Amino acid sequence: ANGAVRDRRFDEALPVLREVLADDPRNAFARLVMGSALMGMSRWREAMPWFRSYLEQVPTSASAHHWLAICHLRSGQPDDAFREAEAALAIDPRFSDARVLKGGVLALRGAHAEAIAELRRAVETDPAKPILRLDLARLLDEAGQRAEARRQYDELLRLAPDDPAALSGLAALLAR
């Protein structure tokens, strides 16, 4: 089932997971994979209880808190998403994806300075991950910090010269 989820064959994974969980209802890994499968199918609200039940057994899983945060955000619950992102970061302060999610919620709230600070921390934590710089560059541009956004796009293109999102973002920035 885990391989099927990894390969995005969610419909194939669900019956196997149901069978595993019928035989062993407390199987933490099956609960995590079930949440992942449902999340992969954009069934956000259905995935949440599976991640919560996994966290009851494995409370130190920063990833499960992060996935739960994504589900909350996609379900229109940004405050719950923020709390889960903070829980993930309390467990693993270097978890750049959770930091980006937290920054995204801050940006939604209009707290651009705080959001930018979170995204800068994410980039500092994982400087070779291009998507982090792209998120930071977009947020800087949105906040009117065009010179700094340009620097982030330039660095992103140094890391990933053919990145279409970076190229289009920089072109849009330069067109203004």
Tens of pLDDT, residues 96-143: 999 999 999 999 999 999 999 999 999 999 998 999 999 999 999 999
Q: What is the pLDDT of residue 1?
A: 81
Return contacts of 124-131, CB within 8 angstroms, 24+ apart: 125/94, 125/96, 125/99, 126/94, 126/96, 128/159, 129/96, 130/156, 130/159, 130/160, 130/163, 130/166
Q: What is the pLDDT of residue 175?
A: 92
Which residue reads 């999610």 in tokens?
Answer: 101
Q: What is the pLDDT of residue 2?
A: 78
Q: Which amino acid is at 88?
A: A
Six token digits for residue 5? 């989820």
Q: What is the pLDDT of residue 4?
A: 84
Evaluate whether 34 touches 4 at the Cβ level (below 8 Å).
Answer: no
Q: What is the pLDDT of residue 162?
A: 92
With bands split at pLDDT 50, 70 and 90, how would you rate the model's confidence at 5?
A: confident
pTM for this prediction: 0.89
**Mean pLDDT, rounded, for 16-44:** 95
Question: Could you tell me which of 83, 113, 109 has the C-alpha nearest to residue 98?
Answer: 83
In the predicted model, what is the mean pLDDT of the chain?
95
